[in-house]
Amino acid sequence: MSESNGIPADIIELSFEAALQELEQIVEKLDSGRVDLDQSIDIYTRGSQLKQHCETKLRMAQERVDKIVAQNGTISTQPANVE
């Protein structure tokens, strides 16, 4: 696990899209009700880590967009409106 944020290395290596897809699969499993309690706790924990990883990836993308805003031929920093 990464010491700084508690996210396992295999999750850190995932792209945003791959992490989101796995998170969606976890939600489907939990919603189905066909998972025993211990497994539910384990996959919920992984889902929480995947969610945190996705949020980090989105925040990093937001920061990149904020840094690169062309205005009147010059580069300036402005917050992006991504909501």
pLDDT of 1: 47
Stated pTM of the model: 0.76
pLDDT value of residue 2: 43
pLDDT attached to residue 9:
96
Domains of the chain plus CATH, in order, are 9-76 (1.10.287)
Does the structure show a pLDDT above 70 at 11? yes
Q: How far, in Å, CA of 52 to CA of 49, rounded?
A: 5
pLDDT over threshold 90, residue 38? yes
- DSSP assigned state of 28: H
* E-strand stretches of the chain: 69-71, 74-76
Identify the residue with better confidence: 61 or 83. Answer: 61
Please compute the mean of the pLDDT values over residues 48-76 and round it to a whole number.
81
pLDDT at residue 29, as a whole number: 94
Question: CB–CB of 2/9 below 8 Å?
Answer: yes
